[in-house]
Amino acid sequence: MTPFSPGFPPLPPAAVETPAAIVDLDRIRRNIGQTLEGLGRQGLRWRPHVKTHKSRALAREQLRAGAVGLTVATPREAEVMADLTDDLLLAHPPVGPKVERVVRVAQLTRLRVALDHQGPLEALSVASGRAGTHLGILVELDVGMGRVGVGDSRDVLRLAAAAHELPGLSFDGVLFYPGHLTPAKVGLDAGIGEVNRRLEEILSALAREGMPAGIVSGGSTPTLPWSHHFHGVTEIRAGTCIFHDRTTVALGVARGEDVALRVLSTVVSTDGRTRAVLDAGSKALAREAFRGGDQGGFGEVQVPGRPLVTAVSEEHGVVALEDSSWRPRVGDTVEIVPNHVCVSVNLQDRLLARRSDGCYDVVSLEARGRQPYRADLQLPGTADPAVPNS
């Protein structure tokens, strides 16, 4: 047994079945420390997004190091993380049955919810009143990504006023995600300038109406070094930086030695010259496109020449060998840096942390899935005997 993964004995290498996600705890802790140090110099707080790792153990590492709270995207993530922090943010609008689950989490910890429509706001107020709880509301802004969020300052004011007036709620600030900006794109400075124009207009309008935004929550891992250039921001929700991946390295916000998660895979077929086939396909690496340049591919194999996984089906990853001196044999094992680590982690049953003795500690991913995590928070008709009590 280990304190990092209680309940699981160390796993010997011979017992590891590929594909498997392998993590380096020293690198994880170093990444956490570097993130906090950098944001601290900028006068900003870190509220890491747990969608990247979905692990209670790794969330504890972030909180112990100095994170002010946690960000979640799903009701299950909120339920899993609720007893680890007294400052939780749901950065995804709850609609339908999710409303009741979210309100129940607010019975366990201080919870804030980001949203951009009146309907969910009113539903949260009604449910919060029934449960006798309180929720903080962050109005989500669209600062250029075109996904969710309010773009017009008048609509922001209406939502903020409603959150201020509706029972069981309070207006705590605003949230934005600059996911359309990366250092690889031409005009990053101009993009940040446009985001700031929108932020300044909205924040000024809120202040004039006597509803200043106490929290301005923003940021992403690709824009992490430029976090302090966003006007008024108080906290950053970057998540990928705990592991990093092929994209963040290509964007220049991480080095190869910062990557803390790789997918261990086995060669299952090869012609010895032009192609090797691995047992890591879309169900281990995902099909997400590479955002760091024009190379494409679905992952980078850590062998001479760093060949790419150029094609994936469900259980197969094809590696092009033309530009590599690597000549694999069936049964060889390799490590792959995935394009986007958040998606790859969500495809794993567990993570395996390397130990100094060559064995692995099992890192549970308790926040994966949709079913209620805590039996005492289940809704009527959702009982699942396989769901553990926290």
Report how many domains make up the chain: 2
373 is a domain residue: no
pLDDT reading at 171 higher than 70: yes
Which tops the pLDDT comparison, 292 or 47?
47
Distance CA 73, CA 55 (A): 13
* Residue-wise pLDDT tens digits, 107-124: 999 999 999 999 999 999
State whether 116 and 162 are in the same domain.
Answer: yes
254 is a domain residue: no
11 is a domain residue: no
DSSP lists the bridge partners of residue 150 as 141
Q: Residue 88: which of 49, 119, 54, 122 has the closest Cα? A: 49
The mean pLDDT value for 15-35 works out to 97
Report yes or no: 133 and 97 within 8 Å, Cβ to Cβ.
no
* Residue-wise pLDDT tens digits, 255-307: 999 999 999 999 999 998 899 999 999 999 999 989 888 889 999 999 999 99
385 is a domain residue: no
Q: What is the pLDDT of residue 9?
A: 84
Structural domain span for residue 280: 260-349+356-364
State whether 111 and 199 are in the same domain.
Answer: yes
Instruction: Tell me which of 242, 271, 293 is where a domain ends.
Output: 242
CATH code at position 265:
2.40.37.20
State whether 120 and 193 are in the same domain.
Answer: yes
Mean pLDDT of the chain: 93
193 is a domain residue: yes
The mean pLDDT value for 54-63 works out to 98
State whether 343 and 268 are in the same domain.
Answer: yes
249 is a domain residue: no
Q: What is the pLDDT of residue 186?
A: 64
pLDDT reading at 65 higher than 60: yes
State whether 235 and 266 are in the same domain.
Answer: no
State whether 38 and 88 are in the same domain.
Answer: yes
Report yes or no: 246 and 300 within 8 Å, Cβ to Cβ.
yes
Q: What is the pLDDT of residue 389?
A: 39
370 is a domain residue: no
State whether 70 and 174 are in the same domain.
Answer: yes
CATH code at position 205:
3.20.20.10
State whether 265 and 158 are in the same domain.
Answer: no
Q: What is the pLDDT of residue 342?
A: 98
Structure tokens at 374: 């805590």
pLDDT reading at 221 higher than 70: yes
What is the percent of the chain where pLDDT is above 90?
88
Q: Residue 50: which of 290, 245, 242 has the closest Cα? A: 242
State whether 285 and 232 are in the same domain.
Answer: no
Q: If pLDDT is split at 50, 70 and 90, which confidence band does 383 have?
A: very low
State whether 151 and 295 are in the same domain.
Answer: no
pLDDT reading at 7 higher than 80: no
State whether 205 and 265 are in the same domain.
Answer: no
* Residue-wise pLDDT tens digits, 154-166: 999 999 999 999 9
380 is a domain residue: no
Q: What is the pLDDT of residue 385?
A: 39
Q: What is the pLDDT of residue 384?
A: 44
Structure tokens at 299: 């992952």
State whether 217 and 268 are in the same domain.
Answer: no
Q: What is the pLDDT of residue 387?
A: 41
The mean pLDDT value for 87-109 works out to 96
Q: What is the pLDDT of residue 285?
A: 98
DSSP lists the bridge partners of residue 135 as 169
